[in-house]
Amino acid sequence: MPDDLAPPQPTDVAALARRLADLRAAEPALRAREAAARLGISEGELVALGCGTAATVRLAPRFTAIVARLPELGEVMALTRNESCVHEKVGRYDKLSLEGHIGLVLDPDIDLRIFFGHWAMGFALREDTKDGIRRSLQFFDKDGTAVHKVYLRAGSDIAAFDRLVADFTADGQGPEQPVFAVAPKPAERPDAAIDVGGFAAAWRALEDTHEFFALLRRFDVRREQALRLIGDEFCRPLDRAAIRPLLETASGEALPIMIFVGSAGVIQIHTGPVANIVEMGPWINVMDPGFNLHLRLDRIASSYVVKKPTRDGTVTSVELFDAEGDLIAMLFGKRKPGEIELDAWRHLVDGLPGRA
């Protein structure tokens, strides 16, 4: 067993199933994630309670092979989320590259980076809703946290879904689902222990944005900590609500942007314009055909403009973090390797309000 995992604790699944039934009877519109929180269990455990019925099928943990079959479904909706942000894209699982624990989906609409090491359990669901049967494939980490979901749409191939489920049905279909409590991440190193001068010199030598993660590991510094320490040569702190004028300006100018949102097991990317920006309570939302984003403004603890040198010139991002220093989302101007960053994106970012 990995060192960072605590053993699963036994649960009374019959009692949980009764409590869930009572909860859904009282609040039919309650989402699975919210219901799980109310029951004090993970979402993966809650979904597993339906195993053994026609509604839920546990899938064999052959996740690379399952993803390889997703193109057969046709047009679907891909959903990736973290605690603060939900990213939904309509498209196809085409242009796949699946090697070992890493996967790529490079469809113009569904654009994913997949880390299969965080895929521990999967289920096929057929849920009865007021609009008919809603079919989905849902995948979870070892602790029962969702890493990725795939929802069928009106034009999806239902027969292909049924074949996929039949081919990957696991032997065990009981409602028990062991989960492992992941140990807290290591504490952030003291600022004084970071070689900021060496880190800044290595930052200046960057030639590709993909080198940045290795740079953080090399200097043993957390991402948000690095941005906080690096200084104004590469980074500018923003007002926590700067995402609002960013999205509104991008919408008004029809500026194509890139929005990255990740779970532990998937990074999902939108590339293109955003049009319909809607605020509802603490959420700011993009509500466009083919793309929805739901972002909790009240969970943004810090945000930054970040500049990285590359062979193609400076690449500028806006990065949002929660109170734990975890990355919520990253935004860029639309670009591909070999292309210079859009001037309109740099102008937009330069005009965002700084931290007071």
Whether residue 30 sits in one domain with residue 58: yes
Q: At 26, list the tokens.
A: 């009282």
Report yes or no on 186 lying in a domain: no
Q: What is the pTM of this model?
A: 0.94
Whether residue 274 sits in one domain with residue 224: yes
3-state DSSP assignment of residue 124:
strand
The reported pLDDT for the residue numbered 2 is: 45
Residue 259's φ and ψ, nearest 5 degrees, are -125, 115
Report yes or no on 282 lying in a domain: yes
Our count of domains for the chain comes to 2
**Residues near 102 by beta carbon (within 8 Å), at least 6 away in sequence:** 113, 114, 115, 116
What are the start-end ranges of the H helices in 1-42?
Answer: 13-26, 32-39
The reported pLDDT for the residue numbered 43 is: 96
Report yes or no on 16 lying in a domain: yes
Whether residue 336 sits in one domain with residue 236: yes
Tens of pLDDT, residue by residue, the chain (356 residues): 344 555 455 568 888 888 988 888 899 888 889 999 999 999 999 999 999 998 999 999 999 999 999 999 999 999 999 999 999 999 999 999 999 899 999 999 999 999 999 999 999 999 998 889 999 999 999 999 999 999 999 999 999 999 999 999 999 999 999 999 877 888 899 999 999 999 999 999 999 999 999 999 999 999 999 999 999 999 999 999 999 999 999 999 999 999 999 999 999 999 999 999 999 999 999 999 999 999 999 999 999 999 999 999 999 999 999 999 999 999 999 998 889 999 999 999 999 999 97
Report yes or no on 111 lying in a domain: no
The reported pLDDT for the residue numbered 172 is: 93
The reported pLDDT for the residue numbered 13 is: 83
The reported pLDDT for the residue numbered 17 is: 86
The reported pLDDT for the residue numbered 183 is: 75
Of 131, 162, 181, which closes a domain? 181
Domain housing 195 = 191-350
Q: Are strands 85-91 and 283-288 parallel, antiparallel or unpaired?
A: unpaired
